[in-house]
């Protein structure tokens, strides 16, 4: 983060040159503390205002038949152990009489395939299902996109919400899903 900040300041206009003579790159902890003072809401707003799909027609793997390829996927990861994180995110189940070492967070992301830019994301408690979060991320898909998802995300709600956004989709379907051509 220090390098990014330094590069940003170095790239400022001539009007900032005078300020730059006296400005010094802050230490890592100062940047972290400033970000914490701003709070999650400001950082979230900044993310949603700035981050968007950026691929051009020349970006390899970004388009298929004129549709921008986007992917929805989820993952879980450990976070540092604290009472607050345990309360907010929870711990995975473990053998009887033991507790998991760390609280776990579920992260579900919407990614532009050609650039790998994450242009929408949601973190939630570990026990909250990936499907629930994936449905909410559909707020960021639109006409002209081809959304891809894994079989664990397939549902009638997912298909309906995707189509209502005007987005095309390709999704893996579990083997036990009823076929529209199979008599019930």
Domain boundaries, the chain: 1-11+24-39, 51-171
DSSP symbols for the chain: -HHHHHHHHHTS-GGGHHHHHH--PPPHHHHHHHHHHH-HHHHHHHHHHH------TTSTTSEETTEEEEEEEEEEEE----HHHHHHH-----STT---SS-EEEEEEEEETTT--EEEEEEEETTS-HHHHHHHHGGG--TTEEEEE-GGG--HHHHHHHHHTT-EEEE---TTSPPTTS--
> How many Å from the N-terminal Cα to the C-terminal Cα in the chain?
57
In this prediction, residue 175 carries a pLDDT of: 79
The fold of the 51-171 domain, in CATH, is Nucleotidyltransferase; domain 5 (3.30.420)
In this prediction, residue 183 carries a pLDDT of: 53
25-72 pLDDT, tens digit each: 788 888 888 888 998 899 889 888 999 999 999 999 999 999 999 999
In this prediction, residue 166 carries a pLDDT of: 97
Which neighbouring-strand residues pair with 122? 108
More confident residue, 90 or 184: 90
More confident residue, 17 or 137: 137
Buried b (16+ CB within 10 A) or exposed e, 32-60: eeeeeeeeeeeeeeeeeeeeebebeeeee
Q: What is the pTM of this model?
A: 0.76
**pLDDT band at 121, cuts 50/70/90?**
very high
Q: Which of 131, 128, 126 is nearest to 89 (CA)?
A: 126
Angle, CA 42 vertex, CA 40 and CA 44 arms, to 5°:
65
Residue 15 above 70 pLDDT? no
155: burial class by Cβ within 10 Å (0-12, 13-18, 19+)? middle
In this prediction, residue 94 carries a pLDDT of: 77
Q: How far apart are CA 129 and CA 160, in angstroms?
A: 18
Q: Which of 33, 44, 23, 47 is nearest to 1 (CA)?
A: 33
**pLDDT band at 89, cuts 50/70/90?**
confident
């Amino acid at each position: 983060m220090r390098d990014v900040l330094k590069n940003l300041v170095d790239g400022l206009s001539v009007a900032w040159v005078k300020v730059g003579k006296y400005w010094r790159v802050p230490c890592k902890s100062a940047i972290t503390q400033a970000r914490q003072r701003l709070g999650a809401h400001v950082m979230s707003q900044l993310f949603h205002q700035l981050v968007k799909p950026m691929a051009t027609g020349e970006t390899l793997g970004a388009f298929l038949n004129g549709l921008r390829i986007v992917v929805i996927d989820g993952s879980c990861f450990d976070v540092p152990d604290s009472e607050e994180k345990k309360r907010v995110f929870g711990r995975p189940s473990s053998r009887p009489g033991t507790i998991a070492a760390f609280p776990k967070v579920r992260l579900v992301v919407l990614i532009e395939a050609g650039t790998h830019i994450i242009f929408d994301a949601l973190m939630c408690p570990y026990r909250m299902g990936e499907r629930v979060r994936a449905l909410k991320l559909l707020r960021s898909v639109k006409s002209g996109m081809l959304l891809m998802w894994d079989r664990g995300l397939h549902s009638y709600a997912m298909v309906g919400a995707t189509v209502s956004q005007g987005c095309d989709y390709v999704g893996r379907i579990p083997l036990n899903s009823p076929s529209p051509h199979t008599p019930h």
